[in-house]
Each structure stands twice: as structure tokens, then as C-alpha cells.
Amino acid sequence: MTLRSCHSVVLAAGLGTRMKSDLPKVMHPVGGLPIVGHVLKVLGQTGSSRLSVVTGPGMPELEELVGDLAPDARCFVQTDRLGTAHAALAAEKALENVTDDVLVLFGDTPLVTAATVEKVRGALAGGADVVVLGFETDTPFGYGRLLTDDGRLVAIREEKDASDSERKITFCNSGIMGFAGEKALGILQAIGNDNAKGEYYLTDAVEVANAKGLKVVAVAGTEAETQGINTRAQLAACEADFQASKREQFLESGVTLLAPETVFFAHDTVIEPDVIIEQNVVFGTGVTVRSGAQIRSFSHLEGADVGNGAVVGPYARLRPGTVLGKDVRVGNFVEAKNAVFGDGAKANHLSYVGDARVGEASNIGAGTITCNYDGFLKHHTHIGTGTFVGSNSTLVAPVTLGDGAFVAAGSVITRDVAGDAMAFGRSRQQSKDGMAKVLRDKLKKAKNQKS
């Protein structure tokens, strides 16, 4: 990372009309993070010491989101949508007295990488006054072409203005640009609107800079990382590319994916080497899986920490606040929420464990539930070390089971159970000889009378 300072301007005023949504376009998620959040995250990784985000009028939710994701960022409102250069100049005050690098990016390009942003900054550090990020594509139709001559970027030619030979060029404009800080504001202010739409286009910065005798160059990224999002179809395509990249990343890092195309990750998923992930697993945000763990088929995890050697699923759901210790077993159709399992604890099937602490080497029988909610407040269940809870038990919180306690199957536990005590919380069984035959005969007679 360069030691030069950097001020980044993120253009995020688009309404996303074609997405047919009341939500601002850049707030739609990719990998569980709003689109603009990906851009802000990368800029943070690449040393942007100052951030400006240009929003549109009436977007308080976007400004609030930016404040949450990047507390030091400033939001500026583009009151009239008069083109991309006009949008960048909404942050004009913030661009005064900038000395090193200025980046202008679009808020709807969530896949741009830190390495590519560093390429742009590297070119600025090498003496360029304007840097345009381009990409090679086999399908350049609709993109502005980058016209170069002996390493110099001469112009950006839009599709409608390009000659036949220029349309054959496959090096295209991504829209991401870098400026030498002391020249950035002057270049942007010199851009005019002498065009059919009367708008101020950021691409005209190339012509302005060349007219001033400044050094203008292009650097290359990839088509996938520079793709923008304007429609739901493009959002889905971007999500697919994000997932493909994540799968490749984890495979290369030593994670086993039995059917990679069926596993879905969030932007912040952390998985250590030697983890095995089976088919059809979904990771929401905030999940960490430690080495040696196994996530079995059809499981869903969010906000959970899975310990070394733990086995989750199949068909398990781990909700936020779940922490599994070493060698824990959380099996099929088990749901856990805000629950901490000590090393070696087991809940192998058909249970709900919420707002609870399960001690080391404890066993939760099938059908057990912790009744943590009384309609108004949540309550905690504490299960000690080496405790056994029999099948189909109901633990009514707040309640504590001491170390080594034993709860008989089918019990409803409403009071604390001491360590090494056995608790029965069920009605006494009664058997009446011959009564089954009497009942069957009675029911059969009633049925015959109705027919």
C-alpha cells in the first residue's frame, strides 16, 4: 500500500429505477453486504484517508448506512442529476487542498478489488495526472472504448460516436478514475456540458487533461470486477460472480467443498483450512468455522462461531450468538440461537436451544427445547458440565441444571436442578388392564352407527 494520502469520492446517487425498488440501488446486498459497502470496504483496505459519498436527494437511509459502514465518511447530495462529473463536483468542498491521490468510483461496482485500486494509485504515484481503469472484453458493445497511443490514453470514445475501426477495440472504460490531487478539482471544473443531453460527463476529463498537456494513462482490471449493477438480473449475475470468487478463494486456502456450486458465502465468512463443507450449505454474515470442523448438508449458519472438530447438521440452523466449542455435535433439525456449547457437548437431533449455556460433555436429548421467551422477555437456561437431558424435555427458563444432573425423558423442568440430582417433571403413568379392548369396541360401535 502506498504511503501517499488518498481522497476517494464514491458516486451513489443513482435511484436504480430499473431495479423497480424503493430502496436506493447501492443498498441492495451482494454477499450479505450492501453494494456500496463493498466499495467502502475496499477503499478502507487501500488507504483512503478521506471518503466522500455522493447521494441523491431524499436518501436518508443511505446516509445512515454510510455512517454505519464508514463513520469518517462525509455525504454530499447531488440535488440535480446532471451527469457523472457534476456528481463528483457535489463533493467539491472536500476536494479543495488535496495533495496526493483522488479516486472517483461508482457505488454500484461491488466486486472491484484492492489490487486493482492499488494499480490506479500506483500509476498516480508514478507520475500520471489522470488514470482511467479499463478492462478487456469479448463483447464491447455499449461500452466506451479507450483509445491509446504509445502508452498514452488519447480519448474515451462512446459507442454512438465511435468509428467502425474504433468499435473493434476491446479495451473499454470501467468508469473508475484517478487524479493527481493538486490537479483534480481544476480538471473536473473544466468539464463542460456541450452535448445532446447538456450533462457533465466524467469521461471528458481525459480530453480536458490532454488539452492541458497532462499525463493521461489507462490501467487494466477485469471485466468481472468492474461490472456495475442497474437491474435485478445484473444484481443476480454479480452475486453469482461474488460466490464463484469466494468458492475459489476457500478451495485454494485448504477448505473442502464437496459441491462448490451449492455452497453460498457472505462477504465476511471466515473458514479455516481442513474444514469440510457438504452440499447445499448457506453462510449468512458473521460466521467463523475453525479447522477440522464439518458442516453437513442443508445447514444454515449466521452469526455463529464453530469450534475445532465440531460437526454441524445435516439440516441444522445456527442463529446469531451461537458458539460451538471443540468437538461439539449439533445434528439434524437442531436450531440454536445465542447459545454457547462447551467442548464435547451434543444436541444430535430435533432440538431448540436458545439463550442458553450448555456445559462440556453434556447431552441434549431429541425433542428438547429451552423455553426462553415468556411473551415479553427472554430468559436464560444454564446447563452444567456432564449433564444429561432426556428426550422430549422442556426446560422453562430461567432455570439451571447443575453439573452432572440428569433430567428424565418427557420432563417439564420449571425449577433448578442440583448437581448430580435426577429430575422428573412428568405425570405418573397408569395402566388399566383390558381397557384398550373396551375402548376399541366402543369406538367401532360408534363408527358403525354413523355409517
* pLDDT tens sequence across 142-187: 899 999 998 899 999 988 888 999 999 999 999 999 999 999 999 9
What's the predicted TM-score (pTM) here? 0.91
* Same domain, residue pair 78 and 202: yes
Indicate if the pLDDT at residue 131 is higher than 80.
yes
The answer as to whether 443 is a domain residue is no
The answer as to whether 429 is a domain residue is no
Q: Is the peptide bond before 314 cis (omega within 30 degrees of 0)?
A: yes
Q: What is the mean pLDDT of residues 327-346?
A: 98
The answer as to whether 232 is a domain residue is no
Q: What is the mean pLDDT of residues 97-109?
A: 93
- Place 331 in a pLDDT band, splitting at 50, 70 and 90: very high
Q: Are strands 171-180 and 101-106 parallel, antiparallel or unpaired?
A: antiparallel
Q: What is the mean pLDDT of residues 196-209?
A: 93
The answer as to whether 445 is a domain residue is no
Q: What is the mean pLDDT of residues 386-392?
A: 98
* Same domain, residue pair 76 and 25: yes
- Place 207 in a pLDDT band, splitting at 50, 70 and 90: very high
- Over the chain, what is the mean pLDDT? 95
* Same domain, residue pair 87 and 26: yes
* Same domain, residue pair 247 and 134: no
Based on the number of CB atoms within 10 Å of its own CB, is 231 exposed (0-12), middle (13-18) or buried (19 or more)?
middle
Domain count, the chain: 2
* Same domain, residue pair 190 and 255: no
As a whole number of angstroms, the distance between CA 404 and CA 339 comes to: 19
* pLDDT tens sequence across 353-379: 999 999 999 999 999 999 999 999 999
* Same domain, residue pair 281 and 316: yes
Q: Residues annotated as binding site for Mg(2+)?
A: 108, 230
**Residue 131's beta-bridge partner residues?**
178, 217
Indicate if the pLDDT at residue 2 is higher than 70.
no
Q: What is the pLDDT of residue 1?
A: 46
* Same domain, residue pair 309 and 400: yes
Q: Residues annotated as binding site for acetyl-CoA?
A: 366, 372-373, 391, 409, 426
Q: What is the CATH number of the domain that holds 163?
A: 3.90.550.10
* Same domain, residue pair 244 and 202: no
Indicate if the pLDDT at residue 297 is higher than 60.
yes
Q: What is the CATH number of the domain that holds 254?
A: 2.160.10.10
* pLDDT tens sequence across 228-242: 999 999 999 999 999
Q: What is the pLDDT of residue 14?
A: 87
Residue that terminates a domain, selected from 188, 221, 254 = 221
* Same domain, residue pair 111 and 186: yes
Question: Which uninterrupted H or E stretch holds 77?
Answer: strand 74-77
Show the beta-strand stretches assigned E in 308-436: 311-312, 317-318, 322-324, 329-332, 335-341, 346-349, 352-358, 363-364, 369-371, 381-383, 388-389, 394-396, 399-401, 406-407, 412-413, 422-423
* Same domain, residue pair 214 and 256: no
28 flagged as catalytic: no
Q: Which 3 state secondary structure label does DSSP give 136?
A: strand
Q: Residues annotated as binding site for UDP-N-acetyl-alpha-D-glucosamine?
A: 11-14, 25, 78, 83-84, 144, 158, 173, 230, 319, 337, 352, 363
* pLDDT tens sequence across 25-83: 999 999 999 999 999 999 999 999 899 999 999 999 999 999 999 999 999 999 999 99
As a whole number of angstroms, the distance between CA 414 and CA 416 comes to: 7
Q: What is the mean pLDDT of residues 110-120?
A: 96
Name the active-site residue from 7, 349, 379, 380. 349
Determine contact, residues 95/7, Cβ cutoff 8 Å: yes
- Place 224 in a pLDDT band, splitting at 50, 70 and 90: very high
Q: What is the pLDDT of residue 115?
A: 96
**Single-letter residue type at 195:** N
The answer as to whether 450 is a domain residue is no
- Place 97 in a pLDDT band, splitting at 50, 70 and 90: confident
Q: What is the pLDDT of residue 16?
A: 81
* Same domain, residue pair 139 and 206: yes
Q: What is the pLDDT of residue 445?
A: 93
The answer as to whether 432 is a domain residue is no
Indicate if the pLDDT at residue 3 is higher than 80.
no
**Rounded to 5°, angle at Cα 12 from 10 and 13:** 135
Q: What is the pLDDT of residue 427?
A: 85
Supply the range of the domain harboring residue 189.
6-221
* Same domain, residue pair 86 and 115: yes
Q: What is the pLDDT of residue 196?
A: 82
Q: Residues annotated as binding site?
A: 11-14, 25, 78, 83-84, 108, 144, 158, 173, 230, 319, 337, 352, 363, 366, 372-373, 391, 409, 426
Q: Is the peptide bond before 398 cis (omega within 30 degrees of 0)?
A: yes
The answer as to whether 119 is a domain residue is yes
The answer as to whether 285 is a domain residue is yes
Cell 478463494 -> residue: 249
